[in-house]
Amino acid sequence: MNTILISPVPPNLSESCYATFTTPRLPKRRPDPPQCHNCQKYGHTRNYCHHYPRCVKCESEHSTDECTKQPEEPAKCANCSGNHTANYKGCQSLEKILNQTKPKAKAKI
């Protein structure tokens, strides 16, 4: 039996919309390469690092704990010198690495 809604905005509309848009599975996340917490470079971890410590916030040669950067100062990326912290997932150097390491797509003719 069909129910015709006369009210222009049924009170339960938003709820039912949510139900239809809720997907149980999250989109597949690409695996990020390991990032060193000592020098902020990708591809190795702190335990295997042979570099000088680099700050995640200001790219200077000190460990992040010793950083004296003020919160109002802009962050500087140790990998690309951009205005973000070195662990920013949108960093262009991370993008570059991901593009290098991603499996080869089907060869184009």
Contacts to Zn ion by CB under 5 A: 36, 38-39, 41, 49, 51, 55, 57-58, 60, 67, 69, 77, 79-80, 82, 91
Cβ nearer to Zn ion, comparing 38 with 97: 38
Smallest gap from residue 46 Cβ to Zn ion (A) = 6
Smallest gap from residue 48 Cβ to Zn ion (A) = 7
Contacts of 87 (CB under 8 A, 6+ apart): 35, 40, 56
* 3-state SS class at 100: helix
Smallest gap from residue 96 Cβ to Zn ion (A) = 10
Cβ nearer to Zn ion, comparing 25 with 50: 50
